[in-house]
Structures are given as structure tokens and as C-alpha cells.
Structure 1
């Protein structure tokens, strides 16, 4: 048997290659894993996929070929390779989960089938006090309104209005305005200014007759001492002393307002024929219309009757007889007011009430009223005959009396047998 030949030992270079090649493979694999981990970490932070399918397959192949490398005890320690998720990645995942949880809407809770009780209302005592206060205020307001009505009823203005409509013809607008002014002023006793009413228009249209009706009415509801009718031609003629007239007028006004203030009544002063009143007397009268006076002079009614502005009224009526401008008397009021201010400033504080021309039908009513007063039988043919004897302005189909009802009394007096 042949002696076995000794096996030749491998050279030292081959042992070195057997040790170096796994080490190189491990280093190469470690670098590749590190690059993959860094790329995976970047993809996780941006919200994309961690690894592609191709890269994961390549990594598995390399791991299967190098099993001997991983079986060695030198690489079992985790200090060389650590496949755990980095702390930064864990923090990022936790924050994403919290955000997702916060975004979830809370569940809607529906009430159960149990009985529900309303909250108990605690009654406040302040509410009762408020209701009591409101009741007291309402009672005071109603009481004040009733007092106003009682003060107006004391002067019986409804009866005055009926008397005006029955005895003054063709002046419906003027009557309505006078009644509105009187009702507003007589509603209370205390005022901050006197009421000044000016009746203006041509002669014979019912201004003086209106003054007599007002004087008669207020004398009936008040004492005779609280109504003054002042006729310029009678109380202060042309040849009289102006100083004496001023003193007499001032004494009469002062005495009347003083007595009226004591008895809580409003005096009425009626001045007729104002166009004939001298200028010094107008200035004296103007002083009683000022606002800065004692209370007794502020609680008074002054009625001014004059023919000033009558020509303007006549011209306006004749120019607008065929139109409907008379339904809006504001234009006529402005024309008369401008004419009065040129005459004297006493009309600056007055309420202007224009009296218009009377038509032929109004003249017939004047004749009828006067015939009944004198005891004559109201014959229509006789009334038409008497009305036809007067002169008229003829505008188309309308006739306006030139003298108004001024000559009615004289015509009726001629019917008496002893005249």
C-alpha cells in the first residue's frame, strides 16, 4: 500500500482571500443597507413609500447568499446593524396619529327617552316694580288727556263751530283753520306765547261777523269781563290823543289778563278795523305779542280784523277762478302775508286766515238769513230778485259779489212798510 502523499497545504494568500472576501461583502452590504435606510428615512418624512419592490428583492437575495456571514458570532451584536425605526420616525408617526385623531368629529349624542324638565324660572321683584311703574305712567298719561278734553269742553268749541258754519257763508277753509287754532291753544291753560289770529280779506265777506260770533260765544261760556271788543273808530277816533289811546288800551289789557290769571281763564281780545289804527298804537299792541313777558300776558287770544290784503285776495280769486288752485290755499296765504308785512310788523307773529270772495249763491243765503231774522216769509223768487240787485264780478260761469253781504241789511230794511 502506497504511502499516502501528504496533502499540500494551501498557501497563505488563499487563506487571506477566504477571510477578506466575506469581509468585503459585509462592508459592501453594510454600505448598501445604510444608503437604503437613509433613502427610506427621507421617504418616510415626506410621506411616500419606504422601499421599492425591486430594492427589497435585491436586499433579500444578498442576505440569502451571505448566510454564513450572518451566522458568525462576530456580527450578532446589534451594535453593527440596527434595523429599528429611528426615534425621529417614531415621533413623526405619533404626531400623524394624533392629528388624525383630532380631525375625527365628535359623535352626535341624541337625547334619550327619559323625561326632560325645563329650568326653573326665578321670579324677580324688579319685574313687578317695572310693571307697577308702567301702570302709573299710563294712568298719568290718560289723566292728562282727560284733563285736556275737560279744558276744551269748558269752552264748548263744538257749539262754536256749528254756529260759524250756520251763520258764516262761503268761508269753510277759514272756519276750519280758526277752529284748529282755538282747539290747540285752549287745550291747556299755560302757554309760552299768546295766540294771535289775523282775519284778512275784502269788505263784506264775513270778517266782522266772525268777530261778533266769537265775542258772543266766549261771553256766554265765560264772564263778560274776559272778552274785549275794541273798535278803532269808536275807541280811538282820528281827532283823539294817541297817548291817551295807548294808556287806555294798556290799562284794559293789563286789568283783564290779571283777573283772568286769577280765575285760570284765557281772555279774548278782538280788534276790528286794524287798518285804521295809528302806527304808535300798533307798536303798543305789538309789545303784548312778545314772548318775554309775564305769564298772564302769554295766556291770551288776540283777534285782528282788517281789510289789509283784500285787494290781493280779490285779484288772486279772479285770476284763478277757473282753476283748482283754491283747493291749495297756501299760495293765497303767502300773498296776503307778504302784503301785511309791508304794512306793519305786527303780523309777523300772527296766524293769517284769508277770507275769499263770496259767490252769488252765498249772497242768496245771506238774504235768506236776514229775512228770517226780520220775520219775512222766505220767498225764493224774492230772494233771487234781491240778490240780482247787487253787483258781481263775472268770470266765465261764476259770479263773485263786489260788496259781499255788506248791502244785504239795507236791502231787507227797505222791505219794511214804514221805511
Structure 2
């Protein structure tokens, strides 16, 4: 068989029977099978150079630089940065982890929970959030009806199993945990357990991230017994003690976050993920101070081309203050923390720039 035909077979793929490419008379059965395997292997190699595959070209297990990447992009979240980096690095570095990684990100709106998830996706997957191995699940969009929990459970079960079968290193991000129907997450329990495999499929290399945000009306009331509330109270007490924000340690918050997660009436409430201790870590996202909001404003101004680089921020100090003044802060008498974190910064930048 001439070399041109061989190359044609390799690059066109296996869309036709192997006998279309190789003369069965000139090859023995064993040789034909061997050549067929080579063709398939060759096509897989070429295909995975172009299209996303579950291999080291597309899924990065080297977490060098993750901590610095998180630190440079997540403002005011020293606890989250260090904790996330350690857990993700340990899990991805291990070729045979004992269980899937389950992380719960908790805190006020706009503090960086979703953004942290995006940073992780970009660091691990070559295609970032567009990767077919990254799955974002919005509670309000995917599970809007509390009376359909059984149907949702079956759908979620099939969906997780199908995706992890395609790639063991899949990432699942559950947004709006506080709005999930009660009991839904129990279906995830087997995939976060310490099982070697389930029906021949290994789930231990997957990552599950649960994002939990405090409702805005609770924020203004400042009385609810929730994880977000506890984080804010502890942070505020620490602030009043005149200690550096960075001196606040995870152990100062971990107990309260876990307790509040069990007591809340939504999402993880009474879920076996909590009662069976299957969540690897509860990670607090602290409320953002005015200085952190300004960092986000600088990012938006650079993205919009209004600033050429972050170095120009000193020349635009008045503008930064004007934009920061457009946001609401609490407590009312001290105005220390932004009620919306950095979430509304982009629209406030647009609003202020309209008058310039």
C-alpha cells in the first residue's frame, strides 16, 4: 500500500472499515489488526491535538503558580486563597486520591466565590470555563421546582455519572446552594464517598465546588443565623480589635461556618454530605472593605482601556473614590464593608464614566 494512502487513512480517521485502506490479501490477520490499532492510535493522537481530550495536554495537574494566581486576582481573601490552593494542589497532584474533593465556598455576594471557581477552571483546564469537563450548575435555572426533587435527583445522578465517565478529572460547580431544593444533594453522596469505584467508574478524581451566598435582605437585617452572617460578625469583631485583616485565621471561622451550614434551611441542610462529613473543607470569603473594592475598580478601568495599566491608579485617585462612593457599605454608622462586594463595580464604573 502506498504511503499517500496510509497518510490519508491516518488523518481522515476511522469513519470507514479498515479494509478500505488496507488490502486484506497483502496482510495477514494479525498484521491487519496491528495496523488497525496503529491507525486508531494515530487518529486519536491527531484528534487530541486539535480537539479537547481528557489528557495532560488539556487537563493540567501541575498546580505550580495557582496560589500566586489566586492571590493576585482575589482581593482581601487570604483565607480562601491559601485554603483553596492547598486542597486543589494536593488533590490534583495525587494520581490516586482517596475520595473526590468537595469544597464549600461561603460568604456575601460579590466577595469572589464565583470568580475563584473561574480562576481554578482556567488554571486546570486549557479551555477554562468553556471546557467540556467543567460543569456549572445554577440552582434557580436547573432546579426551580421544589416538588420535582425526585426527578431532579435522577437527572443529576445520570448527568454526573455520564460526565465523569468521559473524564475522571471533571469539575462540578454548584451555584446558589442556598436555593437548592432540600434533599437534592443527597444523590451526590456516593460520588464523594471513599469508594474505590462505582460500577467500574472511578469518581475519586473529580472536584465538586458548592457556592453559598447570603441573601441580600438578610444582609441588611444583620440578624440572621447563617454562615454569611457569622463570617461578617467575626470579621467585624476582628476589625474593631485593631488587628490586621491577615491575622484572621481559618480556625477562627471554621467552627461557626460548619454550625451555620447545618442550621440553615436550604441547600446542604441535613444533607448526608454534611452529616457524613463528606465536604472536605468549608472556605470562608470575607466581606470586602473599601480598599478591596477599589482594586476591583482598577481592574475594570484597565479592562475598559480607561487606564493603560494598574500603575496609573495614583493619577486617578479621585475617580476611584467617586466610583467607590456609588456603592453601599455597612454597618450604617461605620461603612466598613461593601454590601455587594465587587459585584456591582462594572456598572458603577460605566455610570460614573458617562459624566466624564
Structure 1 Cα separation of the partners of residues 118 and 147 of structure 2: 25
Report the Cα offset of residue 256 of structure 1: 1.6
8 Å CA contact 1:233–1:276 kept in 2: the answer is: yes
Flag the structure with higher helix content. 1
- Deviation per residue, 1:226-256 (Å, 9 max, x gap): 2211111222223783333223221221112
SS of aligned partner of 1:208: helix
SS of aligned partner of 1:312: helix
Mapping of 1:228-267 within 5 angstroms? 228-238=135-145, 241-261=148-168, 266-267=169-170
State whether structure 2 residue 215 is matched by structure 1 residue 215. no
8 Å CA contact 1:232–1:271 kept in 2: the answer is: yes
Report the Cα offset of residue 398 of structure 1: 8.1
Report the Cα offset of residue 174 of structure 1: 1.0
Aligned pair partner of 2:291 in 361, 382, 385: 361
SS of aligned partner of 2:263: helix
1:271 maps to: 174
Report the Cα offset of residue 276 of structure 1: 0.6
1:337 maps to: 258
Q: Any unmatched runs of 5+ in structure 1?
A: 1-149
Report the Cα offset of residue 268 of structure 1: 1.2
Report the Cα offset of residue 202 of structure 1: 1.5
Mapping of 1:25-40 within 5 angstroms? none
- Deviation per residue, 1:241-291 (Å, 9 max, x gap): 333322322122111211224xxxx21111111111111312212342222
8 Å CA contact 2:149–2:184 kept in 1: the answer is: yes
Aligned pair partner of 2:131 in 212, 220, 224: 224
SS of aligned partner of 1:285: helix
Mapping of 1:90-109 within 5 angstroms? none
Structure 1 Cα separation of the partners of residues 67 and 147 of structure 2: 38
Structure 2 Cα separation of the partners of residues 243 and 375 of structure 1: 49
Report the Cα offset of residue 185 of structure 1: 1.1
- Deviation per residue, 1:35-55 (Å, 9 max, x gap): xxxxxxxxxxxxxxxxxxxxx
Structure 2 Cα separation of the partners of residues 287 and 269 of structure 1: 15
State whether structure 2 residue 317 is matched by structure 1 residue 388. no
Structure 1 Cα separation of the partners of residues 351 and 147 of structure 2: 35
User: What is the RMSD of the two structures over their aligned residues, measured on CA atoms?
Assistant: 2.9
Deviates more, 1:382-391 or 1:214-223: 214-223
What TM-score do the two structures reach when normalised by structure 2? 0.67
Q: Number of aligned pairs? A: 264
8 Å CA contact 2:62–2:92 kept in 1: the answer is: no
8 Å CA contact 1:215–1:270 kept in 2: the answer is: no
CA spacing shift, 1:322–1:396, aligned 2, 3 Å: farther
Q: Any unmatched runs of 5+ in structure 2?
A: 1-55, 214-225, 308-312
8 Å CA contact 2:91–2:205 kept in 1: the answer is: no
1:289 maps to: 192
Report the Cα offset of residue 335 of structure 1: 0.6
What TM-score do the two structures reach when normalised by structure 1? 0.57
Report the Cα offset of residue 417 of structure 1: 4.8
